[in-house]
Structure 1
Amino acid sequence: MEETDLDRQKHRVRILAFLAFSLFLGGLLVVCALRQTTPGLPISIPMPAPLPPIRLLTVFVAIHLIGLCFGLGGATMLDFWILRWMRQGSMPPEIKRSFLFISKVVTVGLAALWLSGLGLLAIYALEAPEKLANPKLWAKILVVLVLTLNGAIIHALVLPSVVRDISRPMFEGVSRPTAGIFFVSGAVSGVSWYFAFALGVMRELNGVVGTGCLLSLWFIGVVGASCLTALLRQFLMRPAVHPVSALSVSSEQGVPPAKQDLMSTPLRRLPPDIFVSVRRAA
């Protein structure tokens, strides 16, 4: 996939939009923190009456959830499409644009997670510094960091060679190292997204389970998903068994061409009036 000038321009626009949004949220955080005259109170955004002030934490949590929806939903959709591609051997050409578009949606979701996550860390440092000692928080940060590096590897090394022609079998013309990187990266992506989601919703883990234990569970999940992906590849990408025609069998057995033509000629049904009774003729 060669990048055109229009693609480069769109890429620069996306980067500028992300930087502008980051500066806006950072400025909002700084302004709200400076307006907070009473220490210890939640940092809030004043709203016109009769609306109550909105906690800045709520804004960043909302952005965090939106990023999770984009990333987790898009990654799950891509995984299902990959399984379908492995099973059917090819995909309609128009799916390629959707595939690349959803990949960009996942990237946007990951960027939103980082942006909102850093904002949440800043709010925790100002409002409740004790929350920064939560082992689950740092385990989630490390998992998202691995998820980010894994996504960069997929977009740089794997995706261009795999989706260049989706009308063919998935790994036709792809080297074995590239295919192996693709499967391991897919396992890391799937496990990391759902593991980060589980860490976000399971408040029972706060301050109870250590970072090392959580990362060990994540690593076991990645290894298990990699093995499962390898088994699915062997099962879903088995070569199809095509029925052998009589003509091909006859040619392999050395039947002369004249007899092959006779064998391939369809038989016609004779009309019933052509038959004459032997007794009547006698």
Structure 2
Amino acid sequence: MYQILVIAHIIGTVLGVGGATFAEIFHIRAMRDGVVTDEESVTLKIFYTVLRVGLVLLVLSGFAFLIYFRLEGHEKYLYNPKLWAKMIIVFIIPINAILFQIKKIPAWLATPISLTSWYTALILGVYRTIPYSFVEIMGIYLASILVIALVLWRIKDHYSLSRIKS
């Protein structure tokens, strides 16, 4: 049972990270001319579907892990600050998506939150032990959102300037 949970968790993370990454790359590419065509929109919807499937797998397998740890007497894992940081960060992913969909959060912020959240969940999942407290992990996470926002702004600015010069 444990191995099935691990595989489902890894697949969910891979689909989420890959979907988020390729959705953003393709969106930036599609917006080079200032318009997302119908064909580009269909492709983006596919990426978003992959991302959602990844999120569902990640969340379901994550809850299954919590139940497994409790039933198998491994409660000590439930007190790990890395686990709590990861759970909060994964919880932020759908909240961010919902807020973006109902236009309560702008794209310039929603995109870096999504990308940073997925990659942070991946990184936290890869390392067995991380020598940081919950507060330190969350501080690094928040700082990373700002860095990714700046990087994406520069990339998009570069492409919009290229479009104007053409």
Task: Report the TM-score, using the length of structure 2 for normalisation.
Answer: 0.89
Give the aligned partner of residue 147 of structure 1. Answer: 93
1:217 aligns with 2:163: no
Structure 1 residue 154: Cα displacement:
2.8
User: What are the equivalent positions in structure 2 for 1:43-82 lying under 5 Å apart?
Assistant: 56-82=1-27
Structure 2 residues not aligned, in runs of 5+: none
Contact 2:15 2:54 in 1 (8 A): yes
- Identity in percent: 27
**What is the RMSD computed on CA atoms of the aligned residues?**
1.8
Deviation at 1:63, TM superposition (A): 1.2
**Selected match of 1:138 from 51, 66, 84:** 84
In 2 relative to 1, CA 234–67 (structure 1 residues): closer, same or farther, beyond 3 Å?
Answer: same
What one-letter code is carried by the residue in structure 2 that aligns with 1:101? I
More helix by share: 2
Q: Report whether the alignment pairs 1:196 with 2:121.
A: yes
The structure showing larger relative contact order (alpha-carbon pairs under 8 Å, at least 6 residues apart) is 2
How many Å apart are 1:204 and its aligned residue? 3.2
Higher gyration radius (CA) = 1
- The CA distance in 2 between the partners of 1:90 and 1:111, in whole Å, is 30
Aligned partner (choices 149, 153, 156) of residue 230 of structure 1: 153
Aligned equivalent of 1:121, options 52, 66, 77: 66
What is the TM-score when the length of structure 1 is the normalising length?
Answer: 0.54
Aligned residues: 164
Alpha-carbon separation, structure 2, partners of 1:130 and 1:145: 22
SS at match of 1:94: helix
Structure 1 unmatched runs, 5+:
1-55, 159-177, 243-282
Distance 1:196 1:136 in 2: 10
Secondary structure at the residue paired with 2:38? coil
In structure 1, C-alpha distance between the alignment counterparts of 2:64 and 2:56, rounded to whole Å: 12
Conserved in 1, the CA contact under 8 Å of 2:27 and 2:44?
no
Verify the 8 A CA contact 2:89 2:121 in the aligned structure 1. yes
